Chains A and B, each alone.
Chain A
Protein backbone atom coordinates (compact mmCIF):
# COMPACT_ATOMS: atom_id res chain seq x y z
CA UNK A 1 0.00 0.00 0.00
CA UNK A 2 1.31 3.39 -0.91
CA UNK A 3 0.36 7.02 -0.76
CA UNK A 4 -1.55 8.49 -3.69
CA UNK A 5 1.13 9.98 -5.89
CA UNK A 6 -0.99 12.42 -7.79
CA UNK A 7 -3.76 14.76 -6.99
CA UNK A 8 -7.17 13.97 -8.39
CA UNK A 9 -7.45 14.75 -12.05
CA UNK A 10 -10.21 15.89 -14.33
CA UNK A 11 -12.04 12.73 -15.42
CA UNK A 12 -12.82 12.20 -19.09
CA UNK A 13 -16.43 11.25 -19.97
CA UNK A 14 -15.41 7.57 -20.22
CA UNK A 15 -13.61 7.71 -16.90
CA UNK A 16 -16.62 9.41 -15.36
CA UNK A 17 -18.88 6.57 -16.52
CA UNK A 18 -16.49 3.94 -15.11
CA UNK A 19 -16.16 5.95 -11.89
CA UNK A 20 -19.93 5.79 -11.47
CA UNK A 21 -19.97 2.05 -12.18
CA UNK A 22 -17.22 1.38 -9.62
CA UNK A 23 -18.88 3.72 -7.16
CA UNK A 24 -22.15 1.81 -7.45
CA UNK A 25 -20.56 -1.43 -6.17
CA UNK A 26 -22.20 -2.30 -2.83
CA UNK A 27 -20.06 -2.60 0.29
CA UNK A 28 -19.55 -6.32 1.03
CA UNK A 29 -20.34 -5.92 4.73
CA UNK A 30 -22.89 -3.09 4.57
CA UNK A 31 -24.66 -3.82 1.27
CA UNK A 32 -27.18 -1.02 1.79
CA UNK A 33 -24.45 1.51 0.94
CA UNK A 34 -22.13 1.70 -2.07
CA UNK A 35 -18.40 2.32 -2.24
CA UNK A 36 -19.29 5.77 -3.61
CA UNK A 37 -21.54 6.48 -0.62
CA UNK A 38 -18.74 5.54 1.76
CA UNK A 39 -16.24 7.75 -0.02
CA UNK A 40 -13.60 5.07 -0.31
CA UNK A 41 -13.15 5.37 -4.08
CA UNK A 42 -10.20 7.72 -4.49
CA UNK A 43 -9.12 7.76 -8.11
CA UNK A 44 -9.82 6.16 -11.46
CA UNK A 45 -7.95 6.74 -14.68
CA UNK A 46 -7.47 5.15 -18.06
CA UNK A 47 -3.97 4.34 -19.27
CA UNK A 48 -4.76 3.45 -22.87
CA UNK A 49 -7.52 1.39 -24.38
CA UNK A 50 -8.76 -1.34 -22.07
CA UNK A 51 -6.44 -0.40 -19.21
CA UNK A 52 -7.78 1.26 -16.10
CA UNK A 53 -6.27 1.87 -12.67
CA UNK A 54 -8.42 2.44 -9.62
CA UNK A 55 -7.45 3.60 -6.14
CA UNK A 56 -9.47 2.83 -3.04
CA UNK A 57 -8.77 3.52 0.61
CA UNK A 58 -9.72 1.26 3.53
CA UNK A 59 -12.08 2.46 6.24
CA UNK A 60 -9.99 0.64 8.88
CA UNK A 61 -6.48 -0.74 8.29
CA UNK A 62 -7.69 -4.21 9.19
CA UNK A 63 -10.93 -4.02 7.22
CA UNK A 64 -11.33 -7.56 5.83
CA UNK A 65 -13.70 -6.31 3.13
CA UNK A 66 -10.98 -4.52 1.14
CA UNK A 67 -10.07 -7.60 -0.91
CA UNK A 68 -13.70 -8.30 -1.74
CA UNK A 69 -14.18 -4.64 -2.74
CA UNK A 70 -11.19 -4.79 -5.07
CA UNK A 71 -12.37 -7.93 -6.80
CA UNK A 72 -15.93 -6.60 -7.07
CA UNK A 73 -14.62 -3.46 -8.78
CA UNK A 74 -12.52 -5.61 -11.13
CA UNK A 75 -15.56 -7.72 -12.00
CA UNK A 76 -17.71 -4.68 -12.79
CA UNK A 77 -15.05 -3.11 -15.00
CA UNK A 78 -14.24 -6.41 -16.73
CA UNK A 79 -17.94 -6.78 -17.51
CA UNK A 80 -17.76 -3.32 -19.08
CA UNK A 81 -15.17 -4.68 -21.53
CA UNK A 82 -11.98 -3.53 -19.85
CA UNK A 83 -9.51 -6.42 -19.80
CA UNK A 84 -6.78 -4.73 -17.77
CA UNK A 85 -8.00 -3.50 -14.37
CA UNK A 86 -5.69 -2.72 -11.45
CA UNK A 87 -7.09 -1.78 -8.05
CA UNK A 88 -4.61 -0.29 -5.60
CA UNK A 89 -5.13 0.49 -1.92
CA UNK A 90 -3.88 3.87 -0.72
CA UNK A 91 -3.66 5.06 2.89
CA UNK A 92 -3.22 8.81 2.60
CA UNK A 93 -5.08 10.98 3.08
CA UNK A 94 -6.61 8.79 5.78
CA UNK A 95 -10.28 7.97 5.34
CA UNK A 96 -12.66 9.66 7.74
CA UNK A 97 -16.34 9.10 8.44
CA UNK A 98 -16.76 12.67 7.16
CA UNK A 99 -16.14 11.14 3.70
CA UNK A 100 -19.50 9.34 3.86
CA UNK A 101 -21.97 11.21 1.65
CA UNK A 102 -25.33 12.59 2.82
CA UNK A 103 -26.97 9.87 0.72
CA UNK A 104 -24.84 7.24 2.47
CA UNK A 105 -25.86 8.55 5.89
CA UNK A 106 -29.50 8.48 4.91
CA UNK A 107 -29.24 4.84 3.75
CA UNK A 108 -27.44 3.79 6.94
CA UNK A 109 -30.10 5.37 9.16
CA UNK A 110 -32.83 3.79 7.06
CA UNK A 111 -31.29 0.38 7.66
CA UNK A 112 -31.15 0.81 11.42
CA UNK A 113 -27.51 1.95 11.70
CA UNK A 114 -27.01 5.34 13.34
CA UNK A 115 -24.75 7.36 11.00
CA UNK A 116 -21.53 8.94 12.28
CA UNK A 117 -21.58 12.47 13.63
CA UNK A 118 -19.34 15.11 12.04
CA UNK A 119 -15.77 15.08 13.31
CA UNK A 120 -14.53 17.74 15.70
CA UNK A 121 -11.20 19.37 14.90
CA UNK A 122 -9.13 17.17 17.17
CA UNK A 123 -9.45 13.59 18.34
CA UNK A 124 -12.39 11.24 18.71
CA UNK A 125 -15.78 12.57 19.70
CA UNK A 126 -16.59 12.19 23.39
CA UNK A 127 -18.66 9.04 23.29
CA UNK A 128 -21.26 10.49 25.62
CA UNK A 129 -22.58 12.93 22.99
CA UNK A 130 -26.10 12.14 21.84
CA UNK A 131 -26.60 9.58 19.09
CA UNK A 132 -30.13 9.33 17.71
CA UNK A 133 -31.89 5.95 17.86
CA UNK A 134 -32.44 4.83 14.25
CA UNK A 135 -35.63 2.99 15.29
CA UNK A 136 -37.66 5.52 17.29
CA UNK A 137 -35.65 8.71 16.87
CA UNK A 138 -35.02 9.22 20.57
CA UNK A 139 -31.82 11.03 21.55
CA UNK A 140 -31.65 9.09 24.79
CA UNK A 141 -29.30 6.28 23.87
CA UNK A 142 -26.44 4.70 25.74
CA UNK A 143 -23.17 3.08 24.75
CA UNK A 144 -22.95 -0.67 25.32
CA UNK A 145 -19.57 -1.19 23.69
CA UNK A 146 -17.14 0.84 21.62
CA UNK A 147 -16.84 -2.16 19.31
CA UNK A 148 -19.51 -4.06 17.43
CA UNK A 149 -20.26 -6.43 14.55
CA UNK A 150 -17.73 -4.82 12.19
CA UNK A 151 -14.61 -2.74 12.78
CA UNK A 152 -16.43 0.48 11.89
CA UNK A 153 -19.33 0.25 14.35
CA UNK A 154 -20.09 0.69 18.05
CA UNK A 155 -22.97 -0.97 19.89
CA UNK A 156 -25.60 1.21 21.55
CA UNK A 157 -29.02 0.81 23.12
CA UNK A 158 -31.99 3.14 23.05
CA UNK A 159 -33.21 4.07 26.52
CA UNK A 160 -36.67 4.95 25.17
CA UNK A 161 -37.55 1.94 22.99
CA UNK A 162 -34.97 -0.43 24.56
CA UNK A 163 -33.76 -1.65 21.15
CA UNK A 164 -30.03 -2.20 20.70
CA UNK A 165 -28.56 -0.75 17.51
CA UNK A 166 -25.27 -0.29 15.68
CA UNK A 167 -23.68 3.12 15.39
CA UNK A 168 -21.19 3.85 12.62
CA UNK A 169 -18.58 5.33 14.93
CA UNK A 170 -16.64 8.45 14.06
CA UNK A 171 -13.16 7.95 12.68
Chain B
Protein backbone atom coordinates (compact mmCIF):
# COMPACT_ATOMS: atom_id res chain seq x y z
CA UNK B 1 0.00 0.00 0.00
CA UNK B 2 1.05 3.58 -0.56
CA UNK B 3 1.91 4.92 2.87
CA UNK B 4 1.58 8.63 2.03
CA UNK B 5 -2.03 8.96 3.09
CA UNK B 6 -1.50 7.01 6.33
CA UNK B 7 1.41 9.32 7.16
CA UNK B 8 -0.59 12.46 6.38
CA UNK B 9 -3.52 11.48 8.58
CA UNK B 10 -1.33 9.88 11.24
CA UNK B 11 0.97 12.90 11.49
CA UNK B 12 -2.01 15.26 11.84
CA UNK B 13 -3.25 13.21 14.78
CA UNK B 14 0.18 12.76 16.38
CA UNK B 15 1.27 16.38 16.17
CA UNK B 16 -2.02 17.81 17.42
CA UNK B 17 -2.01 15.23 20.21
CA UNK B 18 1.39 16.46 21.32
CA UNK B 19 0.36 20.11 21.15
CA UNK B 20 -2.73 19.44 23.27
CA UNK B 21 -0.68 17.44 25.77
CA UNK B 22 1.43 20.57 26.29
CA UNK B 23 -1.58 21.97 28.15
CA UNK B 24 -1.11 19.42 30.95
CA UNK B 25 -0.55 21.41 34.11
CA UNK B 26 -1.42 24.72 32.41
CA UNK B 27 -5.12 24.60 31.50
CA UNK B 28 -7.34 27.34 32.93
CA UNK B 29 -9.55 24.97 34.96
CA UNK B 30 -9.31 21.33 36.02
CA UNK B 31 -12.14 20.22 33.74
CA UNK B 32 -10.32 21.63 30.73
CA UNK B 33 -7.08 20.04 31.82
CA UNK B 34 -8.90 16.71 31.69
CA UNK B 35 -10.76 17.53 28.47
CA UNK B 36 -7.68 18.54 26.48
CA UNK B 37 -5.73 15.51 27.73
CA UNK B 38 -8.63 13.23 26.73
CA UNK B 39 -8.78 14.71 23.25
CA UNK B 40 -5.01 14.30 22.99
CA UNK B 41 -5.37 10.65 24.02
CA UNK B 42 -8.01 9.96 21.36
CA UNK B 43 -5.75 11.52 18.74
CA UNK B 44 -2.77 9.53 19.95
CA UNK B 45 -4.79 6.32 19.58
CA UNK B 46 -5.64 7.28 16.00
CA UNK B 47 -2.02 8.18 15.30
CA UNK B 48 -0.77 4.82 16.55
CA UNK B 49 -3.12 2.93 14.23
CA UNK B 50 -2.39 5.14 11.23
CA UNK B 51 1.38 5.20 11.66
CA UNK B 52 1.40 1.43 12.17
CA UNK B 53 -0.13 1.16 8.68
CA UNK B 54 2.92 3.02 7.35
CA UNK B 55 5.66 1.29 9.35
CA UNK B 56 6.96 1.10 12.91
CA UNK B 57 5.00 3.62 14.98
CA UNK B 58 7.86 4.50 17.35
CA UNK B 59 10.44 4.91 14.60
CA UNK B 60 8.06 7.09 12.63
CA UNK B 61 7.12 9.26 15.61
CA UNK B 62 10.51 9.61 17.25
CA UNK B 63 13.19 9.17 14.63
CA UNK B 64 11.99 11.11 11.60
CA UNK B 65 13.39 14.53 10.78
CA UNK B 66 11.13 17.53 10.43
CA UNK B 67 11.05 17.38 6.63
CA UNK B 68 9.68 13.83 6.70
CA UNK B 69 6.52 14.80 8.61
CA UNK B 70 3.40 15.16 6.44
CA UNK B 71 1.05 16.93 8.88
CA UNK B 72 -0.85 20.11 8.12
CA UNK B 73 0.83 23.29 9.28
CA UNK B 74 -2.35 24.12 11.21
CA UNK B 75 -1.88 21.35 13.78
CA UNK B 76 1.74 22.26 14.55
CA UNK B 77 0.91 25.86 15.43
CA UNK B 78 1.78 26.71 19.04
CA UNK B 79 -1.04 26.63 21.59
CA UNK B 80 -1.14 30.37 22.26
CA UNK B 81 -3.77 31.26 24.85
CA UNK B 82 -6.79 29.05 25.54
CA UNK B 83 -8.91 30.81 22.90
CA UNK B 84 -6.18 30.27 20.32
CA UNK B 85 -6.17 26.55 21.11
CA UNK B 86 -9.96 26.43 20.87
CA UNK B 87 -9.82 28.17 17.48
CA UNK B 88 -7.36 25.53 16.26
CA UNK B 89 -9.63 22.80 17.67
CA UNK B 90 -12.69 24.21 15.93
CA UNK B 91 -10.96 24.46 12.55
CA UNK B 92 -9.33 21.04 12.77
CA UNK B 93 -11.98 18.89 14.50
CA UNK B 94 -14.62 20.05 12.01
CA UNK B 95 -12.28 19.09 9.17
CA UNK B 96 -11.33 15.76 10.73
CA UNK B 97 -14.95 14.82 11.40
CA UNK B 98 -16.07 15.45 7.83
CA UNK B 99 -12.92 13.81 6.46
CA UNK B 100 -13.49 10.63 8.50
CA UNK B 101 -17.17 10.60 7.55
CA UNK B 102 -16.15 10.74 3.90
CA UNK B 103 -13.68 7.88 4.42
CA UNK B 104 -16.25 5.53 6.01
CA UNK B 105 -16.39 3.28 2.95
CA UNK B 106 -12.66 3.37 2.22
CA UNK B 107 -11.18 -0.16 2.10
CA UNK B 108 -8.00 0.90 3.95
CA UNK B 109 -9.08 3.71 6.26
CA UNK B 110 -12.78 2.87 6.69
CA UNK B 111 -12.52 0.79 9.89
CA UNK B 112 -10.54 3.48 11.71
CA UNK B 113 -12.60 6.33 10.27
CA UNK B 114 -15.92 4.80 11.36
CA UNK B 115 -14.57 4.27 14.86
CA UNK B 116 -12.72 7.57 15.28
CA UNK B 117 -15.45 9.80 13.88
CA UNK B 118 -17.52 9.06 16.97
CA UNK B 119 -14.72 10.37 19.18
CA UNK B 120 -14.08 13.38 16.97
CA UNK B 121 -17.77 14.33 17.20
CA UNK B 122 -17.11 14.99 20.90
CA UNK B 123 -13.98 17.02 20.07
CA UNK B 124 -15.96 19.15 17.66
CA UNK B 125 -18.78 19.63 20.14
CA UNK B 126 -16.27 20.70 22.79
CA UNK B 127 -14.68 23.24 20.43
CA UNK B 128 -18.05 24.61 19.31
CA UNK B 129 -19.34 25.08 22.83
CA UNK B 130 -16.20 26.96 23.84
CA UNK B 131 -16.22 29.07 20.68
CA UNK B 132 -19.78 30.16 21.50
CA UNK B 133 -18.97 30.82 25.13
CA UNK B 134 -15.81 32.81 24.46
CA UNK B 135 -17.11 34.61 21.37
CA UNK B 136 -20.40 35.58 22.94
CA UNK B 137 -18.73 36.25 26.29
CA UNK B 138 -16.86 39.25 27.59
CA UNK B 139 -15.09 41.83 25.49
CA UNK B 140 -11.81 40.23 26.54
CA UNK B 141 -12.82 36.66 25.65
CA UNK B 142 -14.34 37.75 22.37
CA UNK B 143 -11.19 39.63 21.40
CA UNK B 144 -9.03 36.63 22.17
CA UNK B 145 -11.26 34.21 20.27
CA UNK B 146 -11.30 36.51 17.25
CA UNK B 147 -7.52 36.92 17.30
CA UNK B 148 -7.13 33.12 17.42
CA UNK B 149 -9.34 32.63 14.37
CA UNK B 150 -7.69 35.46 12.48
CA UNK B 151 -4.20 34.10 13.15
CA UNK B 152 -4.99 30.54 12.08
CA UNK B 153 -7.24 31.23 9.10
CA UNK B 154 -4.38 31.26 6.62
CA UNK B 155 -3.52 27.66 7.51
CA UNK B 156 -6.94 26.28 6.59
CA UNK B 157 -6.62 26.24 2.78
CA UNK B 158 -4.07 23.47 2.95
CA UNK B 159 -6.56 21.04 4.49
CA UNK B 160 -8.35 20.60 1.17
CA UNK B 161 -5.38 19.95 -1.08
CA UNK B 162 -5.91 16.41 -2.38
CA UNK B 163 -3.87 13.73 -0.60
CA UNK B 164 -2.70 10.92 -2.82
CA UNK B 165 -4.34 7.65 -1.83
CA UNK B 166 -7.54 9.24 -0.52
CA UNK B 167 -10.36 9.07 -3.07
CA UNK B 168 -12.46 12.00 -1.91
CA UNK B 169 -14.40 14.89 -3.28
CA UNK B 170 -12.18 17.57 -1.72
CA UNK B 171 -14.20 20.44 -3.02
CA UNK B 172 -17.35 19.10 -1.39
CA UNK B 173 -15.42 18.53 1.84
CA UNK B 174 -14.25 22.14 1.78
CA UNK B 175 -17.75 23.49 1.13
CA UNK B 176 -19.13 21.47 4.02
CA UNK B 177 -16.35 22.58 6.34
CA UNK B 178 -16.71 26.24 5.44
CA UNK B 179 -20.48 26.18 5.95
CA UNK B 180 -20.16 24.51 9.35
CA UNK B 181 -17.34 26.71 10.65
CA UNK B 182 -19.03 29.87 9.36
CA UNK B 183 -22.27 29.00 11.14
CA UNK B 184 -20.49 28.50 14.48
CA UNK B 185 -18.41 31.66 14.13
CA UNK B 186 -21.48 33.73 13.34
CA UNK B 187 -23.52 32.24 16.18
CA UNK B 188 -20.63 33.14 18.48
CA UNK B 189 -21.02 36.78 17.33
CA UNK B 190 -17.54 36.62 15.78
CA UNK B 191 -16.37 37.60 12.31
CA UNK B 192 -15.33 35.06 9.69
CA UNK B 193 -11.73 36.15 9.07
CA UNK B 194 -11.36 38.18 5.89
CA UNK B 195 -7.84 37.18 4.88
CA UNK B 196 -6.84 34.50 2.39
CA UNK B 197 -7.01 30.87 3.54
CA UNK B 198 -3.61 30.17 2.10
CA UNK B 199 -0.53 32.03 0.90
CA UNK B 200 1.33 31.10 -2.26
CA UNK B 201 4.31 30.31 -0.03
CA UNK B 202 2.33 27.84 2.03
CA UNK B 203 0.06 26.00 -0.41
CA UNK B 204 0.20 22.33 0.48
CA UNK B 205 3.45 22.89 2.33
CA UNK B 206 2.93 20.72 5.42
CA UNK B 207 1.85 17.74 3.34
CA UNK B 208 5.09 18.14 1.36
CA UNK B 209 7.26 18.28 4.45
CA UNK B 210 7.67 22.06 4.74
CA UNK B 211 6.87 23.25 8.22
CA UNK B 212 6.72 26.45 10.24
CA UNK B 213 9.44 27.58 12.57
CA UNK B 214 7.97 26.38 15.84
CA UNK B 215 7.56 22.79 14.62
CA UNK B 216 11.27 22.03 14.96
CA UNK B 217 11.23 23.00 18.61
CA UNK B 218 8.14 20.90 19.22
CA UNK B 219 9.78 17.87 17.61
CA UNK B 220 12.96 18.39 19.62
CA UNK B 221 10.95 18.15 22.81
CA UNK B 222 8.79 15.26 21.61
CA UNK B 223 11.72 13.19 20.36
CA UNK B 224 14.37 14.08 22.91
CA UNK B 225 13.83 11.22 25.35
CA UNK B 226 13.61 8.50 22.73
CA UNK B 227 16.70 9.75 20.91
CA UNK B 228 18.69 10.11 24.14
CA UNK B 229 17.86 6.59 25.29
CA UNK B 230 17.43 4.46 22.16
CA UNK B 231 15.49 1.27 22.82
CA UNK B 232 14.65 2.20 26.41
CA UNK B 233 11.48 0.67 27.82
CA UNK B 234 9.75 0.24 31.14
* Residues of A bordering B, CB below 8 Å: 1-3, 58, 60-64, 90-96, 123-124, 127, 144-149, 151, 155, 169, 171
B34→A169 contact, CB < 8 A: no
B219 within 8 A of A: no
Residue of chain A at shortest CB distance from B17: A62
One of B43-51, B132-140, B220-228 contacting the partner: B43-51
Let me know if B125 and A61 touch, CB within 8 A: no
B119–A169 touching, CB < 8 Å: no
Chain B residues contacting A92 (CB-CB under 8 Å) are 110-111, 114-115
- Closest-CB distance, A4 to chain B (whole angstroms): 9
As a 0/1 sequence over residues 27 to 50 of chain B, the CB contacts with chain A under 8 angstroms (1 = contact) are 000011011011101111110110
B234 CB to closest chain A CB (Å) equals 13
Given the complex, which residues of A lie within 8 Å of B163, measured CB to CB? none
User: In the assembled complex, how far is the CB of residue B61 from the closest CB belonging to chain A, in whole angstroms?
Assistant: 14
- Residues of B contacting A146 in the complex (Cβ-Cβ under 8 angstroms): 35, 122, 125-126
**Measured CA separation A95–B45 after assembly (Å):** 15
13 intermolecular pairs with C-beta atoms under 8 Å apart: A1-B111, A2-B111, A60-B42, A60-B45, A61-B119, A62-B41, A62-B43, A62-B44, A92-B111, A95-B115, A123-B121, A145-B34, A145-B35
Say yes or no: B114 contacts A127, CB within 8 Å.
no
**What's the Cα separation between A18 and B42 when bound, in Å?**
31
Contact among B48, B111, B118 with A124 in the assembled complex (CB-CB below 8 Å): B118
User: Is A91 touching B49 in the complex (CB atoms < 8 A)?
Assistant: yes
Contact B112 A169, beta carbon cutoff 8 Å: no
Contact B118 A62 (CB under 8 A): no
Given contacts A3-B111, A94-B114, A146-B126, contact A61 B38 (CB under 8 A): no
Chain A minimum-CB-distance residue to B44: A62
Residue of A nearest to B49 (CB): A1
Contacts of A58 in B (CB 8 A): 45
B116 in contact (CB, < 8 A): yes
**In angstroms, how far is the closest chain B Cβ from the Cβ of A77?**
25
Contacting pair A64 B122 (CB below 8 A) = no
A90 CB contacts on chain B under 8 angstroms? 111
Closest chain-A Cβ to B69's Cβ sits at a distance in Å of: 20
Pairs of residues from A and B, 7 with the lowest C-beta to C-beta distance, nearest first: A62-B45, A61-B45, A92-B111, A145-B31, A147-B38, A94-B115, A147-B35
Q: Which of B1-59 contact A (CB under 8 A)?
A: 31-32, 34-35, 37-39, 41-46, 48-49, 52
Residue pair A61, B49 in contact (C-beta under 8 Å): yes
A3 / chain B contacts, CB cutoff of 8 Å: 111
A61 to B17, CA, bound (A): 13
B37 contacts across to A, CB distance below 8 A: 147
Contact A171 B41 (CB under 8 A): no
The residue of chain A having its C-beta at the shortest distance from the C-beta of B46 within the complex is A61
Chain A residues with CB below 8 A from B38, complex form: 147-148, 151
Contact partners of A149 in chain B: CB under 8 A: 34
Contacts of B110 in A (CB 8 A): 92
| Residues in B neighbouring A62, C-beta threshold 8 A | 41-46, 48
A96 / chain B contacts, CB cutoff of 8 Å: 118
A166 CB to closest chain B CB, in angstroms? 11
Residues of A with C-beta under 8 A to B43: 62
Whole-angstrom CA separation of A49 from B195 in the bound complex:
67
The residues of B that contact A91 with a CB separation of less than 8 Å are 49, 111-112, 114-115
- A157→B110 CA distance, assembly (Å): 37
Q: Which residue of B lies closest to A150 (CB)?
A: B38
Chain B residues, Cβ within 8 Å of A155? 31, 34
A94/B45 in contact, CB under 8 A = no
Q: Is the CB–CB distance between A147 and B115 below 8 Å?
A: no
- Docked Cα-Cα span, A93 to B45, in Å, equals 17
Nearest to A94 among chain B residues (CB) is B115
Determine the chain A residues whose CB is within 8 A of the CB of B48 once the complex forms: 61-62
